[in-house]
Chains A and B, each alone.
Chain A
């Protein structure tokens, strides 16, 4: 198992390098010049200096390697310096945003909590809704609960989050006025009433994403339970005289959870992607909104770092899903 984990981890490194190369080339080969927006009154030689200071003068390979060094060596060293107080980073160049001239990673860390709160909460809520629904609809297949459950999950699966979000805003903010339509990220929770406000403003974005996630996971849960409910070992367990709750919740559920757990792990990075849209709907200034504004401002280092972080998340959670599958299901270990 340990071998398998190590092997999978090593395989992830070339994948990540390749993705970073693709991202780098894509952004580099694309037309568009970051200095194109500067006023025309700037003399050409000054403009050339600005280009050089942005690091645009060097050949492609050098710039790619430099970027790799900045991202994988300089940034971690800088954080080690901050945490431990030892001077490890010296005056190493960090990845700077072209918009604000401040380090990209600092801005990302500022935005991360908002995204994690909304996205993380919605994923947890989604999973908590999905599991019981999937279990009950599989156990009582074709009952009215199952019919309604599958219908609702089909709807949640089909209706895009930007429509559910807007619909919720129309109903609960415009018509009823219960919840604010814009997420206030400057809000500080320090007493009971401000906590209530925080809960209120989180309900809508969280529910939108939770519905979408719950729909997908409950479909998997149902299918996986149905696969296991007719197995021989279930009949054996029943004929031994075990209680029905033990049969379903221990014998069937534990086996059905194997694929579902991996699906849940695989879903985490896609939720970050989907949050881009939800953040835009509710004006949450998280990572998704940062990406959109950076794209519109042609801020290439920021776009590069953010997309690459999304890629790292995907690769990491793929790895986690693979290893989890091996841990949970001894049949598929390759050792």
Chain B
């Protein structure tokens, strides 16, 4: 009798990991699934695109300038005859690289400050005041000012590409960690009082190990959600800065820069603004949908309903 129920139980409940549950919930959200698919597609296109579409984005073919869509140039060419598709792929590389690294930087800073503020009591006050202070800064004007002031120095020190890339990533990362820090701090504060942390403390686990083994895995879900929002924010900020003419130089395309350059040709070739704009918008849209789905999937109260 007991054997039968035992085997029945085993049949019914195959071992399921938490992440399988999360995936199940995630895949019920159609928008999130589509968003993740599109984001993956953009990522792959940007990484492997140059091998498939092998035209050099810097190659100037002045006789083929301002062309519309054709078989040789599926998305047309710009005023110097450079292939728009190739430039879009190259621009995507920069935009995605800036987005991902800036997001990582802001996550690391945000998580570090959040965990420290939540776990170490005497650091809580000062760190949260710092966070409030950063939230009160006028970010876009400040970004513009920082970039304007330090652009030339970094460019001459590290070269035009690496210098501006580092500046962008640093500036975006350092101004977008506050939300993550606040959420992580709140979660850490409540986790700290839970029994399993108490148990770990009582057997003499050092603080560093408690944070790494017991607290960080449990705050992973809000971190993941803010990671997706961070990518969206970083991509938008980078293209906004490039759009204002304060981002990457023109021979080093990003999506925002391509859009900015296309505006001068709005009368002649209105279609040209469409492609980089669509690339930015669709990527951000897909990332936001992904974030929505992740938030639902990682919330155990919603999961399984």
B281 touches A159 (CB 8 A): yes
**Do B141 and A30 touch across chains, with their CB atoms under 8 A apart?**
no
- CB of B149 within 8 A of CB of A160, answer no
Cβ of A274 under 8 Å from chain B: yes
Q: How far is the CA of A306 from the CA of B152 in the complex (A)?
A: 23
Closest to A173 in B: B266
Chain A neighbourhood of B132, CB < 8 A:
15
Task: Of the listed stretches B8-16, B159-167, B198-206, B238-246, name the one at the interface; the rest are far from the partner chain.
Answer: B238-246
Asked if residues A175 and B270 are in contact (CB atoms below 8 Å), the reply is yes
Q: Decide yes or no whether B139 CB sits under 8 A from chain A.
A: yes
Q: How many residues of B contact A (CB 8 A)?
A: 42
Contact call B141/A273, Cβ cutoff below 8 A: yes
B259 touches A163 (CB 8 A): yes
The residue that B285 contacts in the complex, of A27, A159, A276, A291, with Cβ under 8 A, is: A159
Interface residues of B (CB under 8 A from A): 31, 132-133, 135-142, 144-146, 148-150, 152-153, 232, 236, 239-240, 243-244, 246, 256, 259, 263, 266-267, 270, 273-274, 277, 280-281, 284-285, 288-289, 292
**1/0 contact trace for A6-26 toward B, CB 8 Å?**
000000000100110011001
Q: Please, what's the 1-or-0 string for A121-163, where 1 marks a CB less than 8 Å from any CB in chain B?
A: 0000000000000000000000000000000001101111011
A307/B138 in contact, CB under 8 A: yes
How far is the CB of B259 from the nearest CB of chain A, in Å? 7
Given the interface contacts A154-B285, A170-B270, A273-B139, does A291 sit within 8 Å of B144 by beta carbon?
yes
Please indicate the chain B residues that have their CB under 8 angstroms from the CB of A205 in the complex.
none
- Min CB gap B91→A, angstroms: 14
* Most chain A C-beta atoms within 10 Å of own C-beta, residue among B139, B140, B142, B246: B140
Contact status A160-B136, CB under 8 Å? no
Assess A167 versus B149: contact at CB under 8 Å? Given A154-B288, A276-B141.
no
Cα distance A246–B273 in the bound complex, in angstroms: 49
Asked whether A276 and B244 contact (CB < 8 A) given A158-B288, A291-B141, A292-B144, the answer is yes
A66 CB–B CB distance under 8 Å: no
- Docked pose: A273 CA to B152 CA in angstroms: 25
Evaluate contact between A280 and B138: CB separation under 8 angstroms: no
Task: Determine if B288 and A31 form an interchain contact, defined as CB atoms under 8 angstroms apart.
Answer: no
Chain A residues within 8 Å of B, Cβ to Cβ: 15, 18-19, 22-23, 26-27, 30-32, 154-155, 157-160, 162-163, 166-167, 169-170, 174-175, 181, 269, 273-274, 276-277, 280, 291-292, 295-296, 303, 306-307, 310-311, 313-315, 318
A159 touches B138 (CB 8 A): no
Chain A residues with CB under 8 Å of B240's CB are: 160, 162, 277
Task: Give bound CA distance, A32 to B148, whole Å.
Answer: 10
Contact status A166-B273, CB under 8 Å: yes
> Closest CB of chain A to B96's CB: distance in Å?
16
B137 near A19 (CB under 8 angstroms)? yes
User: Are B280 and A163 in contact (CB-based, < 8 A)?
Assistant: yes
Q: Of A160, A175, A276, A318, which is within 8 A of B239 by CB?
A: A160
When distances are taken between beta carbons in the complex, the residues of chain A under 8 Å from B136 are 15, 19, 311, 314-315, 318
Residues of B contacting A318 in the complex (Cβ-Cβ under 8 angstroms): 135-136
**Given A174-B270, A292-B144, 5 additional A-B pairs, CB 8 A:** A19-B133, A26-B142, A32-B152, A155-B285, A310-B141
CB distance from A226 to the nearest CB of B (A): 13
Complex contacts, B135 vs chain A, CB 8 Å? 318
Chain A: CB-nearest residue to B246: A295
The distance from the CB of B251 to the nearest CB of chain A, in whole angstroms, is 20
Instruction: Give the docked Cα–Cα distance between A162 and B245 (Å).
Output: 12
Q: How far is the CB of A112 from chain B (nearest CB, A)?
A: 16
CA distance A155 to B232 in the complex (A): 13
Residue of A154, A169, A292 near B244 (CB, 8 A) is A292
Do the beta carbons of A276 and B140 come within 8 Å of each other? yes
Q: A160-B240, A170-B273 are in contact. Are A310 and B138 (CB under 8 A)?
A: yes
Query: What are the residues of chain A within 8 A of B137 when measuring CB–CB?
Result: 19, 22, 311, 314
Q: Specify which chain B residues have a CB less than 8 angstroms from the CB of A27 in the assembled complex.
A: 145, 149
- Bound together, the chains give a CA A315 to CA B281 distance in angstroms of 31
27 inter-chain pairs at a CB distance below 8 angstroms, sorted by A residue, are A19-B137, A26-B146, A26-B149, A154-B285, A154-B289, A158-B284, A158-B285, A160-B236, A160-B240, A160-B280, A163-B273, A163-B277, A166-B259, A166-B266, A167-B274, A174-B266, A174-B267, A276-B140, A277-B240, A280-B243, A291-B144, A292-B144, A292-B244, A307-B142, A307-B145, A310-B141, A318-B136
